[in-house]
Amino acid sequence: MDFASCSLRHSVTGPISTTITTTAPITIVAIIICHRTYFNYNYDHCSNHNRRHHHSVNFSGDLPFPVSNPAIWLVREDTSLSVEVFVFGWLFQMTTVEGYGACLREQALQFPRPNCKDRCPRQCTKRTVRWRSPRAAILPDLHLPMRSLEVKNRTSTDDIKSLRLITACKTPYLPDGRFDLEAYDALLNRQIENGVEGVIVGGTTGEGQLMSWHEHIMLIGHTVNCFGGSIKVIGNTGSNSTREAIHASEQGFAVGMHAALHINPYYGKTSTEGMISHFNCVLSMGPSIIYNVPSRTGQDIPPHIIQAVSQSDNLAGVKECVGNDRVEQYTNQGIVVWSGNDDQCHDARWNHGATGVISVTSNLVPGLMRELMFGGKNPSLNAKLLSLMDWLFFEPNPIGLNTALAQLGVVRPVFRLPYVPLPKAKREEFVKLVKQIGRENFIGERDVQVLDDDDFILVSRY
């Protein structure tokens, strides 16, 4: 049996394509991503049997996330065997049936063979093959990403409700503006080592607003694949478009996130009934945290809206940025609340009943933030950290965090515009804060330093 394999290159915005050269007539079996098959197969068969066969293969479709060097297996015609395709860390199994079928649970696909009795026609011909519903056996034991109609809760809502320290994680960049996954993985490892229980991926702190949805879902999938067994992964899949929020949440749960973070519709604000309808739609997707931050959205989520949607079993709780009076109001009603304000989180946790905090500061000092959430009332530690928190939010988040991490040497000093670093006076102030709190309490191993303006890279296109 002759077979060959090839690597495909990918484009985030266009179809995947490649040209394959092999010594035997072949049938392209499939490439499967998130339960979908993408293909537009142009078969170009040359006349001489001894010549090599050139096959132009185009896989196109609305890819849910960028694919890094997927492998596609090519098999000889009239061969019935199982085929394994590795795409972005997932193992997909397919079976060729009667030489031309490819089947999946609940969604079978078929690739008809080129209608060519003579394997080597005297003249080169081109044929375009489109899929049609197949007659294929069902493979009952496939392990595939979860679909919207399947059970997708890899963790229970109660597991999310119990989290006390969640970090809104920073997304680091390479000099060309792409994700620096090596630095990102190091950041996540430090969070896990210091006892952080959950991470928000692609939130405001992680600059999800500067990502394409392809990047967004890819980063969620990467985080789940690498760290999902050690920390809860909460993907920021909220949007001011209900349709977009549903679609992003479906994809986020498909790649394995444990819960979603949902904002209320911003800029194009809606009515009270509109917010209730929006949240009811997105809550149906899986465990979710509702995020109320009027300073960014321009619209408060009043308590009666949270009360209206709290009947959903998928509501894990609320990230509340209005203040501790609102926090206490929710806890008195039995609704789980995380403080969204680092400077108020100590009092929210120990005086007003908050479960914990979704924190920006824990990117820098995760061990101290864990002590603040787990160690009982500690006014002295809280006072010690307040100066750092004030510095972090001197300008809109994540400007301060990005500057701090760069000066600690744990990420490259790369900013995606419109964010720019803090002025040099504030950068010098940060070095003094690190020395006051203790360098050993901050992440990273290098000495903190004051970066010059020329050290920073500002990226406008990426």
Residues belonging to the active site: 291, 319
Q: What are the respective helix, strand and coil percentages of the chain, to the nearest 5?
A: 30, 25, 45
- What's the one-letter identity of residue 218? M
Query: What is d(CA 21, CA 19) in angstroms, rounded to the nearest whole number?
Result: 7
Query: What is d(CA 129, CA 101) in angstroms, rounded to the nearest whole number?
Result: 13
Pairing relationship of beta strands 457-459 and 414-416 according to DSSP bridges: parallel
Please provide residue 402's backbone torsions phi and psi, each rounded to the nearest 5 degrees.
-60, -40
Return the bridge partners of 414, or none. 457
Query: What is d(CA 245, CA 251) in angstroms, rounded to the nearest whole number?
Result: 10
Residues 6+ apart with CB under 8 A from 459: 173, 175, 176, 177, 414, 415, 416, 417
Please provide residue 21's backbone torsions phi and psi, each rounded to the nearest 5 degrees.
-120, 125
Query: What is d(CA 277, CA 16) in angstroms, rounded to the nearest whole number?
Result: 37
């179809």: which residue's tokens? Answer: 15
């009076």: which residue's tokens? Answer: 325
Query: Helix (H, G, I), strand (E, B), or coil: what is residue 315?
Result: strand
Q: What b-and-e string marks burial along 211-229, b requiring 16 or more CB atoms within 10 Å of the CB?
A: bebbbbbbbbbbbbebbbe
Q: What b-and-e string marks burial along 65-85, b requiring 16 or more CB atoms within 10 Å of the CB?
A: bbbeebebbbbbeeeeeebeb
